[in-house]
Structure 1
Amino acid sequence: MKNLLTFLLLAFLLPLSAQQSLFNAQEIISPEINADRSVTFRVFAPHAHKVELSGDWMPREGWNIVPKIMTKEKDSLWTITIPPLPSELYSYNLIIDGVKTTDPNNVYLIRDVSSIFNVFIVGGGKADNYAVNNVAHGTVAKRWYDSPGNKMKRRMTVYTPAGYENSGKDYPVLYLLHGMGGDEEAWMDLGRTSQIMDNLIAQGKAEPMLVVMTNGNVSQQAAPGQSDKGFYKPTMALPHTMDGQMEKTFGEVLDFISGNYRVKKGKDNTAIAGLSMGGFHTLHISRQYPNTFGYMGLFSAAVMPRSEEMPEFYQNLDESLTRQKENGYHLYWIAMGKTDFLYNEIKKYKKKLDYLHMPYEYYESEGGHIWSNWRDYLTLFVPKLFKRP
């Protein structure tokens, strides 16, 4: 009986103690977006000697961000307020005594390959396209499909527009491909695809459509931690990267979607786009699958594989592009940042398209090989789809 009473007393007191610790904890807001769009960051680090802020809006030296030193205030609270930022989705880390970490006061995180970042949105402009607004929302599903060409089951992400489940209608489809190191979660998490689609459709700027985001790394079943390989550190260096295997087996993705979803048939109702490696895949899939795609989007795309021996699938480029032109299409859209490391590669590719008299539209933005550009490109590209005279 005595042990039982002791147990009951502890069961009563421990939650009270935990709640007391919770309610007595210092209330820290970080980041705090101020009325003028300046942003204040705070972290409680009583034993730290140096705390820095590293954000994707900051200047860089090469590939490396130049961080800002935070100031230690009273009660061991380190703070910094940065100047007003344009409307955008931003990512950042804290660096405490040389160790990069996340902000413990910000629960909003994004994984990019093997790195974790905190994120925040400065609204009142283009970032409103990426926000969850009070509009009808589509459905996002993670689907497994058979891939005999890769000898495994694989996973894709599928967005269906609001009302799909009950409409009974058929819809056009956009296949949206990620870059090197990404996976079937990249366009959803980093690219904010479902938010962009919900908002554009609700505004009447885009046709309701499916968006299919498959995993372009054919050596993977799914995103890290989502397959029977368990938990492992993600890496950008994966087998079968740009060797033709992704393109050769892409028909399995097309077959799964046409067999499991209500989609309109034909190239008039089928689009494909991608960023970086995904733009590379878009270029080569579209030219090797005749009369399949009527709309192509190359976002900061690589053009040819960087290998000493050219894989067979990527040979005969001029002949296949000519065939693609003769088959006909509605839109060949290329977007590139002025400081992107692939800028000259696309410049050279445009000359080839001009030589072949192959129609295309070109959009050039500021900035480089960054998600800020790719979200913008998607927002500009989607309204151009499936709206024919």
Structure 2
Amino acid sequence: MKKHLLLTLMMLLSMAHLGWAQEALFSARNIISPEINPDNTVNFRLFAPNAETVEITGDFLPTEKMETPMGEMDGPGKAELTKDENGLWTFTSDNLGPELYNYAFIIDGFRTNDPNNPFLIRDVASSTNIFIIGGGHADLFKTNDIPHGSVTRRWYDSPGLDMDRRITIYTPPGYESSSESYPVLYLLHGAGGDEEAWISLGRTAQIMDNLIAQGKAKPMIVVMPNGNVIQDGAPGEGSKNFYKPQFMIPKTMDGTYEGSFEDIISFVESNYRVKANKANRAIAGLSMGGFHTIHISRYYPNTFDYMGAFSAAIMPREDATAKVYSDFDETLKTQMDNGYELYWIAIGKTDFLYDANQEFLAKLDSMNMPHEYVESEGGHTWRNWRVYLTQFAPRLFQ
């Protein structure tokens, strides 16, 4: 009898648990957010019945002025969502052009991500949701049904920094199955970034796969190092494990990185099938990485045939006293006299570094140093830097 009662009780508990599970399952809302409509307007939805106000902020909205560590800059605007009788908040954007966009919600003043969109990117210490409106250049940001390259995270020995360091490397489609040697693009991130920045925010693998598949770019290896010399890897990936990333950390622009850059080249050329000569090396970077590109390429003036400075952080620095930064004009002239294929500079019209870049361009003009200049709309954003990569990569190794 006791055994029978125990079995009955267990069955009742099991049925009750199943009922609760089914109730949770069927009462859950299947909320789609974002939802891209045929006319390229986008619906955003958030279930927050107890919220008083909900706003959306994103780079598809009119810009607003905001204070940053680099001074006042244009930032993403805001718009209000509308609440229905069931507690569902909604907003529909204007018709959007082709682009990779990012956004977040602000609930009663608290910024948070969209719980219905699992796709996120991290920029320094902030994460935001993303979506893509296809067409035009934005199709290069998509993963399409084409041959794909490989992305690996390797560790290399850096005698110059006295540590093993993490690095991200893209190899083009067919690398593993061929015996061919390839040219190399060294692609450098900006302040607050790390070896994850270009592959995540910059969509490097998708861009390279698509350009190569379309015959617009030569198959190449892309090397994405960590420019923060006190880190052995990105926050959460290095030996310090989990900690909050910072925008500027010590020694990022004091010459240490530039002076030890040969360690990276040595690792790549010892471990990958590469064409190890000047004609098959390119270097490019955004913001701080543009600063590094300018100085690395002239400090090793017969190493690279292709240079790309994207929104380069050309500015006076009190800690720029290392040997790397000495004799700037003389080493730049040596680089010019050695010859190269392309010195490519790009910046947005509203970038806070615009004036500094104009001064650098004037210097190059005064030296009769060959260069190409691209001026785009917009400011100091990944929206520009992704496009610059799509424009720069096809010019390499032709």
- Quick check: TM above 0.5? yes
| TM-score, with structure 2 as normaliser | 0.93
Whole-Å Cα distance in 2 between the matches of residues 224 and 191 of structure 1?
18
Q: Name the CA distance, whole Å, in 1 between partners of 2:158 and 2:335.
A: 26
Q: How far off is 1:310 after superposition?
A: 3.5
1:218 maps to 2:229: yes
Q: Larger deviation: 125-134 or 298-307?
A: 298-307
Is 1:62 equivalent to 2:73 in the alignment? no
Q: How far apart are the structure 1 equivalents of 2:141 and 2:95?
A: 19
Describe how 1:1-389 pairs up with structure 2 within 5 A: 14=17, 17-18=20-21, 20-63=23-66, 64-307=75-318, 310-387=321-398
- Counterparts in 2 of 1:354 and 1:71: CA distance versus 1, 3 Å: same
Query: How far apart are the structure 2 equivalents of 1:146 and 1:3?
Result: 64
User: How far is the alpha carbon of 1:290 from its aligned partner?
Assistant: 2.5
Amino acid at match of 1:33: I
> For the residues of structure 2 that align with 1:352 and 1:290, how far apart are their CA atoms?
18
Deviation at 1:26, TM superposition (A): 1.3
Tell me how far 1:11 sits from its aligned partner: 6.7
How many pairs are equivalent? 387
Task: Report the CA distance shift for 1:310/1:46 in structure 2 as closer, same or farther (over 3 A).
Answer: same
Over 3 Å counting, the alpha-carbon distance change for 1:304 and 1:313 in structure 2 is: farther
Deviation at 1:237, TM superposition (A): 2.4
Q: 1:79 to 1:312 in 2, by over 3 A?
A: same
Shift of 1:148: 2.2
1:117-140 deviations in whole A, cap 9, x for unaligned? 000001122210100011000000
**How far, CA to CA, are the matches of 1:359 and 1:315 in structure 2?**
22
Q: Deviation per CA, 1:268-290, whole angstroms, max 9, x where unpaired? A: 10000000000000000000112
Q: Is the 8 A contact 2:302 2:338 kept in 1?
A: yes
Q: Which residue of 1 aligns with 2:70?
A: none
Q: Partners of 1:169 and 1:8 in 2: how far apart?
A: 66
Q: Label 1:7 to 1:351 Cα distance change in 2 as closer, same or farther (>3 A).
A: farther
Q: Is the 8 A contact 2:42 2:95 kept in 1?
A: yes
Q: Hey, what's the Cα distance between the residues in 1 that align with 2:123 and 2:252?
A: 18
CA contact (8 A) 1:243 1:305 kept: no
Say which SS state the counterpart of residue 95 (structure 1) adopts.
Answer: strand
Cα drift, residue 15 of structure 1: 6.2
**How far apart in 2 are the matches of 1:102 and 1:269?**
42
Deviations 1:294-347 (A, max 9, x none): 000000001244227643321211000000011111000000100000001110
1:151 shift after superposition: 2.0
Shift, 1:74, TM fit:
2.6
CA distance in 1, matches of 2:81, 2:108: 12
Shift of 1:8: 8.1
Stretches of structure 2 lacking an aligned partner (at least 5 in a row): 67-74
Give the fraction of aligned pairs with identical amino acids, expressed as a percent: 58
Instruction: Say if 1:304 and 1:314, in contact at 8 Å, map to a contact too.
Output: no
Give the letter aligned to residue 248 of structure 2. Answer: A
Cα shift readout 1:67-119 (whole Å, capped 9, x = no counterpart): 10100013100001011011000000000000000000101011000001000
Distance 2:98 2:321 in 1: 43
Provide closer, same or farther for how the CA distance between residues 3 and 274 of structure 1 changes in structure 2, counting only shifts above 3 A. Answer: farther
One-letter amino acid of the counterpart of residue 259, structure 2: K
CA distance in 1, matches of 2:129, 2:11: 41
- The answer (yes or no) to whether the contact 2:255–2:320 under 8 Å persists in 1 is no
Moved over 3 A (4+): 1-20, 308-312
